[in-house]
């Protein structure tokens, strides 16, 4: 670019305003200057005396001006990027609103497992609260711009006009509204502190485990070659794969289980297919037949009466006559891919330990870096396994069974009453009943089983609704049994107050009530105070503790904090539905899978195919063609990103409270409400997670 002439470059053709020529190189499309060079730099850097070069180059006014111009261009480039991102966000929001597809549609309500009546009442409550906050905000703005800044002494004096109405509202607010809000605030703060203390104690327990290097060790030594069952401890193991309409993952899960390093004669694979789609049934049955031809001991089971969801499926499978020949049962959901040595690293813990009923492995995730939603889920589940499960396993010998990637002693299942269909969390149900019968559990933090995380917000929302409504159903059902059971008092207290009340009921209650209801209320009722440390410091500390098991996720600590508060509305709704038996609390919704496999799994399976010819077969092309033809004939229901009305209403509520906080100049409260409101807005417009074109 040639030097400028005129005002910045001096008079054309003249030397009076001649400055140092500057070459500006610009990069597209950010329009930012990346380099400034001058051909006369070398000449200007030589001193007059001695002709020696200075250690640092001198800069004249022209160079300083161009450096400032460079910074201005870079700032403009950043602003342009932010502007383009804002335009893209606005375009996505406009398309969501124009499409008009909300979570209030009948199909979505049925799929999420929420009652339309309960759903509408909850939304009506939030909407009414929003309308009241908008009215109060209008009143506060009118008072601010009209100068109605009434002191406490002036409230008792008679005033006239609209100012008198405002003074009456202030007196009513301080006398009748503020005490109730303050009481509710203090109660939630107490619950918040108790739950935070529990989480801190768990983290300290995990730190102690790492410092002392506490690790469950089997009584038997390492197993020798699995081809010789008589040379080591190889009991009879039944492997179950329950599935339902999961054609995306059935091949890889069956292949992984059939490749377990265990004597063929000592384990049997049950594929428990509850699919109601005929084509999916055919594909799974063909896959099982191919593995049978390759020598695997695998059977296919399909129920005619599909009652009880997963619990009913497992209960039906345990009723087979040949189950009595097996001592242990390993359970893997359809998207789980155990490593070949899974049984070798779990089953030996049972030897010589007759009180042991369950060995649970942790989960690892093949798609944890797929999008922001999966990254945030990864933080939560890392803390769950690394801290909660490990600490409870080491110090209490009890934790909630995760429903998969675990090995049960069949005698423990039978002694506890077997699988029951009374809740949507049959895994937690059997774990609690086994604990009440004196069975002990072991959690292996170093044994991993790969699986998938939900990649769309809709799928994650369905999963969380089931995970938080089921424990409340179970609490209602098993509370009398816990009280009557002849176990130690501290075990009863742990089950009732810590396992159920504190971690399953109080956590979603205070998270929603404190940060989504009380905090906005304190902005419109300033007489009730919510301390800064409750809004900022303690939540930040808890988020930091949550993220410690996954230190690489530290850059996502703020989005994690905001997203957890955003999910509180779904968890609170599910908790209330399960506790009071409202709506469709007993409906089971299968989490949608994408069928992802890690590259390491594919290489491992390929190498095994070359050595043993035992890997999963290629899909049947004829069956796939048939599937595509049938799909083209049917009216396919296209998936769309939707608008979630409760989240949008809460977004408007929090942003309204943020505007009110500006008038009282509450800095921390304003920023928290602003960013939390934006978080609710993004979730309400379904702009987090998988985006469907």
State the Cα torsion 389-392-393-399 to the nearest 10°: -70
The answer to whether 477 touches 392, Cβ cutoff 8 Å, is no
Cα dihedral across residues 567, 557, 679, 644: positive or negative: negative
Q: Using one digit for the tens of pLDDT, what is the confidence trace for 460-514?
A: 999 999 999 999 999 999 999 999 998 999 999 999 999 999 999 999 999 999 9
Of 274, 333, 429, 686, the catalytic one is 274
The share of the chain scoring above pLDDT 90, in percent, equals 55
| Residue 652, pLDDT score | 94
Task: Provide the whole-model pTM.
Answer: 0.80
| Residue 556, pLDDT score | 94
Which of 259, 315, 276 has the alpha carbon at shortest distance from 604? 259
| Integer Cα distance of 468 and 425 in angstroms | 9
Any residues with CB less than 8 A from the CB of 230 and at least 6 apart, and which? none
Whole-angstrom CA distances from 160 to 167, 192, 445 are 10, 44, 71
Instruction: Give 443's strand partners.
Output: 360
Neighbours of 200 (CB within 10 A): 13
Q: Mean pLDDT check: name the lowest of 29-33, 245-249, 498-502, 535-539.
A: 29-33
| Integer Cα distance of 442 and 329 in angstroms | 15
Question: In three state form, how does the secondary structure of 253-300 look?
Answer: HHHHHHCCCCCHHHEEEEEEECCCCHHHHHHHHHHHHHHHHCCCCEEE
Altogether, the residues listed in the chain come to a count of 693
Question: Active site includes 186?
Answer: no
| Integer Cα distance of 45 and 170 in angstroms | 71
pLDDT at 331 over 70: yes
The answer to whether 322 touches 240, Cβ cutoff 8 Å, is no
| Integer Cα distance of 1 and 33 in angstroms | 12
| Residue 227, pLDDT score | 61
Q: Using one digit for the tens of pLDDT, what is the confidence trace for 367-403?
A: 999 999 999 999 999 999 999 999 999 999 999 999 9
pLDDT at 242 over 90: yes
Which of 578, 574, 374 has the alpha carbon at shortest distance from 476? 578
The answer to whether 657 touches 523, Cβ cutoff 8 Å, is yes
pLDDT at 285 over 50: yes
The answer to whether 462 touches 113, Cβ cutoff 8 Å, is yes
Here the tokens at position 85 are: 């991102």
Instruction: Give 444's strand partners.
Output: 361
| Integer Cα distance of 468 and 509 in angstroms | 11
Check residues 610 and 151 and name the one with the higher pLDDT. Answer: 151
| Integer Cα distance of 363 and 366 in angstroms | 10
Q: What is the CA radius of gyration of the chain?
A: 32
| Residue 338, pLDDT score | 96
Which of 615, 690, 676 has the alpha carbon at shortest distance from 647? 676
| Residue 618, pLDDT score | 43
Neighbours of 19 (CB within 10 A): 18
- Considering 94-103, 526-535, 606-615, the range whose residues carry the highest mean pLDDT is 526-535
| Residue 160, pLDDT score | 57
pLDDT at 339 over 60: yes
Return mean pLDDT, the chain. Answer: 82
Asked whether the bond before 259 is cis by omega within 30 degrees of 0, the reply is no
44: pLDDT confidence band, cut at 50, 70 and 90?
A: very low
Of 103, 273, 335, 427, the catalytic one is 427
State the Cα torsion 183-187-190-194 to the nearest 10°: 180
Cα dihedral across residues 519, 543, 560, 474: positive or negative: negative
Helices within 437-556 (DSSP H only): 457-484, 489-493, 507-512, 519-524, 532, 538-547
Q: Using one digit for the tens of pLDDT, what is the confidence trace for 184-217?
A: 999 999 999 999 999 999 999 999 999 999 999 9
Question: Active site includes 427?
Answer: yes
Neighbours of 101 (CB within 10 A): 16
| Integer Cα distance of 287 and 483 in angstroms | 48
| Integer Cα distance of 388 and 394 in angstroms | 10
The answer to whether 257 touches 239, Cβ cutoff 8 Å, is yes
DSSP symbol at 444: E
| Integer Cα distance of 536 and 531 in angstroms | 9
| Residue 312, pLDDT score | 93
| Integer Cα distance of 668 and 523 in angstroms | 12
Any residues with CB less than 8 A from the CB of 330 and at least 6 apart, and which? 237, 238, 239, 240, 338, 342, 343, 346, 406, 407, 408
Which of 347, 243, 333, 249 has the alpha carbon at shortest distance from 601? 249
Cα dihedral across residues 139, 652, 516, 88: positive or negative: negative
| Integer Cα distance of 585 and 608 in angstroms | 44
| Residue 119, pLDDT score | 63
Q: Using one digit for the tens of pLDDT, what is the confidence trace for 341-355?
A: 999 999 999 999 999
Which of 542, 592, 657 has the alpha carbon at shortest distance from 201? 542
| Integer Cα distance of 357 and 365 in angstroms | 26
Mean pLDDT of 277-304: 92
Q: Using one digit for the tens of pLDDT, what is the confidence trace for 566-594?
A: 999 999 999 998 888 876 666 666 776 66
| Residue 215, pLDDT score | 93
């Amino acid at each position: 670019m040639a030097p400028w002439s005129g005002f910045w470059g001096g008079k054309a053709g003249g030397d009076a305003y001649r400055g140092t020529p500057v070459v500006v190189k610009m990069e597209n499309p950010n329009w930012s200057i990346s380099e400034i060079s001058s051909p006369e730099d070398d000449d200007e850097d030589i001193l007059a005396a001695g002709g020696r070069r200075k250690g640092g180059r001198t800069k004249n006014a022209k160079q300083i001006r161009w450096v400032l111009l460079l910074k201005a261009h870079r700032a403009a480039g950043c602003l342009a990027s932010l502007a383009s991102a804002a335009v893209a966000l606005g375009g996505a929001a406009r398309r969501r609103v124009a499409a008009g597809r909300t979570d209030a549609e009948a199909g979505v309500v049925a799929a999420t497992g929420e009652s339309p009546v309960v759903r509408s009442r909850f939304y009506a409550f939030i909407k009414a609260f929003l309308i009241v906050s908008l009215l109060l905000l209008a009143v506060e703005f009118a008072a601010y711009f009209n100068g109605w800044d009434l002191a406490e002494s002036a409230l008792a004096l008679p005033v006239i006009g609209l100012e008198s109405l405002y003074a009456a509202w202030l007196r009513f607010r301080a006398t009748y509204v503020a005490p109730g809000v303050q009481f509710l605030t203090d109660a939630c703060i107490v619950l918040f502190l108790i739950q935070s203390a529990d989480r801190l104690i768990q983290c300290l327990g995990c730190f102690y485990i790492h410092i002392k290097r506490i690790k469950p060790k089997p009584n038997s030594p390492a197993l020798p070659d699995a081809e010789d069952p008589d040379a080591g401890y190889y009991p009879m193991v039944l492997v179950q794969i329950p599935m339902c309409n999961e054609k995306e993952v059935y091949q890889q899960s069956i292949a992984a289980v059939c490749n377990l390093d265990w004597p063929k004669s000592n384990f049997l694979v049950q594929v428990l297919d509850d699919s109601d789609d005929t084509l999916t049934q055919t594909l799974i049955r063909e896959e099982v037949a191919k593995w049978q031809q390759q020598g695997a001991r695998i059977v296919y089971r399909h129920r005619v009466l599909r009652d009880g969801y997963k619990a009913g499926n497992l209960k039906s499978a345990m009723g087979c006559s040949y189950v009595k020949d097996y001592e242990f049962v390993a359970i893997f959901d359809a998207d789980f891919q155990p490593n070949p040595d899974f049984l070798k690293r779990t089953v030996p813990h049972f030897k010589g330990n007759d009180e042991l009923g369950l060995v649970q492995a942790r989960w690892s995730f093949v798609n944890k870096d797929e999008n922001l939603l999966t990254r945030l889920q990864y933080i939560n589940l890392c803390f769950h396994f690394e801290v909660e499960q490990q600490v409870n396993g080491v110090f209490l010998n009890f934790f909630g069974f995760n429903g998969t990637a675990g090995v049960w002693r069949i005698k423990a299942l039978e002694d506890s009453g077997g699988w029951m269909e009374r809740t949507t969390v049959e895994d937690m149900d059997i774990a609690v009943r086994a604990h009440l019968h004196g069975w002990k559990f072991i959690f292996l933090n170093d044994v991993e089983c790969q699986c998938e995380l939900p990649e769309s917000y809709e799928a994650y929302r369905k999963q969380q609704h089931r995970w938080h409504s089921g424990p409340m159903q179970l609490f209602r059902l098993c509370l009398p049994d816990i009280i009557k059971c002849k176990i130690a008092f501290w075990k009863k207290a742990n089950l009732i107050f810590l396992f159920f009340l504190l971690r399953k009921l109080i956590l979603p209650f205070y998270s929603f009530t404190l940060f989504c209801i009380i905090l906005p209320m304190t902005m419109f009722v300033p007489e009730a105070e919510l301390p800064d440390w409750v809004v900022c410091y303690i939540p930040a500390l808890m988020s930091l503790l949550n993220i410690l098991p996954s230190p690489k996720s530290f850059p996502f600590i703020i989005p994690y904090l905001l997203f957890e508060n955003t999910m509180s509305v779904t968890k609170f709704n599910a908790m209330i539905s399960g506790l009071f038996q409202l709506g469709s609390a007993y409906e089971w919704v299968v989490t949608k899978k994408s069928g992802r496999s890690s590259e390491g799994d594919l290489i491992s399976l390929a190498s095994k195919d070359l050595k043993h010819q035992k890997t999963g077969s290629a899909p049947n092309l004829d069956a796939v063609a048939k599937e595509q033809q049938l799909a083209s004939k049917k009216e396919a229901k296209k998936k769309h990103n939707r608008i979630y009305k409760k989240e949008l209403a809460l977004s408007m509520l929090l942003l309204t409270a943020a505007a009110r906080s500006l008038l009282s100049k509450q800095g921390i409260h304003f920023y928290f409400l602003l960013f939390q409101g934006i978080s609710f807005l993004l979730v309400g417009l379904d702009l987090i997670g998988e985006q469907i074109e």
